[in-house]
Chain A
Amino acid sequence: MTYLDANATEPLRPCAAEAMTEAACIVGNPSSIHTAGRAARALLENARETIARALGADPLNCIFTSGGTEANALALHALGVGRRFLVGRTEHDAVRQSVPTQAPLEWLDVDQNGQIRLDLLEQSLAQPGALPAFVCLMFANNETGVLHPMAEIVRLCRHYGAHLHVDAVQAVGRVELSLLEQHFDSLACSGHKIGGPKGAGALLIQNTTHTSFTPLFVGGGQEQGRRGGTPALPSIVGFAAALQDALQHPVAYESLRHRLEQAARSLGAVICGEKAPRLGNTSCLALPGQKAQTQLMRLDLEGICVSAGSACSSGKVTISHVLEAMGLGDLAGQAIRVSLPWNVTEADIEQFIQTYTRLVAISTKTP
């Protein structure tokens, strides 16, 4: 099997497996005041320190969640009260579906490269007399890897007093990020996209964000009353270990991806978002006239794991809202996403190219 679906989830890093196994054997609940509890608490706070520092945030404002979806939902719910939402059209469903139902909502268009239209963003922000804005834009797109012009976005948001929430689920561990230095107001991330275990994510908040905080659930008041429930210690500890490892051992994805894209292009594939700066590990390949579903099945039957669009719970492949928003028309239903994990090898890329080439050759033969 050749696994090239990192943006869905990455293989567990050995250091994360080791750290989480160790944490799983700790008996205490981090909220307990006895020796066992304190031992668990120490591990938890250690992980918090590691993750917050790595992402340029204050550990006090690092809230652990069950993953990226919850971190995003918590941000919108807890920090967006009384604001109007400006949400990018290419955002992940974790954001698109989490906007509070009663809140005013405006969609932000992207250009054909998948980048936010800054002119339109400014137009929306500058609306006279409107509620203060809550802007949701992802750092890197999960389907195309496209990066928004974040420095400009930050400048605009600060100028108009908007809260900028950044879904950095795909970017964390793959690019350098700092909440404080880049002036994001909040940021969501997840452990399993960078080789950590599933079940842990975090919401980081800028220290200067002085908004009231309404948690999704209160429970026993964990995470300083901002996220109830016993934290998933093994997953959180694994997340911290994976993040450290990812930042210490960056992978030279670009050269591998370049080879892959060159081969795909020569076979007639269109690379979506190619002209924009992109995350190095992600490639979105559209084959004109070939349904994404069929490409996916054929690659899978040949042992290649990639994906298309965003899979819904039934597993059916739907037309990509991201590529639709980029104005790619029919190609929105004809693209697959290849995303390279931390342990990708040259042989994996070769395997993909060979199989993809064979499939394209067969489909051009079929009437």
Chain B
Amino acid sequence: MRILVAMSGGVDSSVVAARLMEEGHEVIGATLHLYTAPQQVQKGTCCAGQDIRDARSVADKLGFPHYVIDAEQRFQESVITPFIDSYAAGETPVPCVACNKGVKFTDLLDLAREIGAEAMATGHYVRRVERPNGVELHRPRDLDRDQSWFLFATTRTQLDFLRFPLGDMPDKQSVRHEAERFGLAVADKPDSQDLCFVHNGSYSQLVERKYPEMVGSGDIVNQEGHVVGQHEGVLRFTVGQSKRLGNAASLKGERQMVVGINPQLRRITIAPRAQTSMNTLTLREVNWLIDPPDQEVECWVQMRARETPRRARVMPTSQETAFVFLADPAMPAPGQACVFYQDSRILGGGFICRPNTEKPI
């Protein structure tokens, strides 16, 4: 069948393309041009970044057509700008979710359909399982590479069309062996680090360019509003964090954590760890990968990219909102995702709202 492979230029999606070719599919490669890195602009190289070149050379080597898709404006509008605005609202955003949901699984997937592809494959480490009553999304075999949390916003229609051939790979080394077996030059290419559009490792520059008032040091206050310390910039903090609080990390023998961020006042609010946790949270932009339930669902929730899931009950409150009751209290960061699992299967998920201050949409 004709399959469009979303190729980032890395080893994972390259192996996906090679394997599908080997299986006899008609592979068409596509690489999204999402942003122009500052060093590319300086060198005047327009937009032919290394990753695009790598993807193209894999396609040339294996002999399938490859196209570069301009998604720069869409990426700016649907991923980078909301990411910056979310920080400015004192949240800790997950731009990869927005990118997967919009640019990749909406725009690129539409393109795949338009060119007559019957499926679209990516190099994500998740498993797609076909059952008699529908398609399910599961954690991958290699839990060290699990990307399921970032894909909670995938709709069931999208999932129908998607393929994730790396979901069954035992480990990254096997993927690299596969790349070597196919003779791909990207076999040794290092994994991408951090956020793709952040250069020199500093997203704060991006945020500060749009919100200069967020630059610089500010007060650390306790819940009564008394100044208990100083910090070097609100962007270094996430709700739930205990690091980087300096002398305020421990007050009167009690360990403290961040419970609120006010970027406009450059103020970090802290509270004793023991008192701060909460049992309930509200979610927005909820997506269900099962039939949307009309009553509480017992499941496990994961509220950060890397953390052990916790027991919880999820109560849908509208089509796009839900209420979560945690079995044990926790301190989730607004803007992060809360993803519902049953064993390895994703049931759904949503974004964590700021407590009290934010009404679900």
A312 to B68, CA, bound (A): 10
Option from A297, A301, A314, A366 in Cβ contact (under 8 Å) with B113: A366
Known interface pairs A293-B70, A314-B33, A318-B70; A301-B46 also in contact (CB < 8 Å): no
User: Within residues 208 to 254 of chain A, which ones have a CB less than 8 A from any CB in chain B?
Assistant: none
How many inter-chain contacts with C-beta < 8 Å in the A-B complex? 50
Q: How many Å lie between the Cα of A298 and that of B52 in the bound state?
A: 21
CB distance B67 to A297 under 8 Å?
yes
Interface string of B25-53 (1 = CB under 8 A from A): 00010000100000000000111110010
A363 at the interface (CB under 8 A from B): yes
Residue B196 at the A interface, CB < 8 A? no
Whether the pair A315, B56 counts as a contact (CB closer than 8 A) is yes
Instruction: Indicate if the CB atoms of A315 and B68 lie closer than 8 Å.
Output: yes
The answer to whether A316 touches B113, judged by C-beta atoms less than 8 angstroms apart, is: no
Q: Contact partner of A312 among B46, B56, B67, B116, CB < 8 A?
A: B46
Does any Cβ of A come within 8 Å of B96's Cβ? no
> Does A39 lie at the interface of the complex (its beta carbon under 8 Å from any beta carbon of B)?
no
Say yes or no for B65: interface residue by CB 8 A criterion: yes
In the bound complex, do residue B65 and residue A300 qualify as a contact, i.e. CB atoms below 8 Å apart?
yes
List 23 interface pairs A-B (beta carbons < 8 Å), by A numbering: A293-B67, A294-B114, A297-B28, A297-B65, A297-B111, A297-B115, A298-B115, A301-B65, A301-B115, A312-B46, A313-B45, A313-B47, A313-B48, A314-B47, A314-B49, A315-B56, A315-B67, A316-B69, A316-B70, A317-B70, A318-B70, A362-B116, A366-B114
What's the minimum C-beta distance from B1 to chain A, rounded to whole angstroms?
A: 14
Residues of chain A touching chain B, judged by Cβ–Cβ distance below 8 Å, are: 293-294, 297-298, 300-301, 312-318, 362-363, 366
Residue among A298, A313, A315 with max Cβ neighbours from chain B (10 Å): A315
Count of chain B residues with Cβ under 8 Å from any Cβ of A? 19
Closest Cβ of chain A to B104, distance in Å, is: 16
Contacts of A312 in B (CB 8 A): 46-48
CA distance A118 to B241 in the complex (A): 66
| A298 engages B114 (CB within 8 Å) | yes
Min Cβ gap A296→B in Å is 8
Output the least CB separation between A230 and chain B (Å). Answer: 26
> Closest residue to A317 on the B side, CB-wise?
B70
Q: Which of B46, B47, B70, B116 has the most CB of A within 10 A?
A: B70
Are B115 and A316 in contact (CB-based, < 8 A)? no
Residue of B nearest to A313 (CB): B48
Q: Bound complex: CA of A315 vs CA of B33, how far in Å? A: 10
A82 to chain B, nearest CB (A): 26
CA distance A367 to B116 in the complex (A): 14
Q: A338–B200 Cα gap in the complex (Å)? A: 43
Cα–Cα distance between A316 and B34 once the two chains are bound (Å): 11
Q: Which residue of B lies closest to A318 (CB)?
A: B70
Q: Are B111 and A313 in contact (CB under 8 A)?
A: no
CA distance A362 to B47 in the complex (A): 32
Query: What are the nearest 8 A-B pairs in CB distance?
Result: A316-B68, A314-B48, A313-B48, A316-B70, A314-B47, A315-B68, A312-B46, A316-B33
In the bound complex, CA of A214 to CA of B69 (Å): 40
> Which single residue of chain B is at the shortest CB-CB distance from A319?
B70
Residue of A nearest to B66 (CB): A315
Residues of B within 8 A of A293 (CB): 67, 69-70, 111
A115 to B114, CA, bound (A): 35
A300 to B68, CA, bound (A): 14
For residue B101, give the distance in angstroms from its CB to the closest CB of chain A: 20
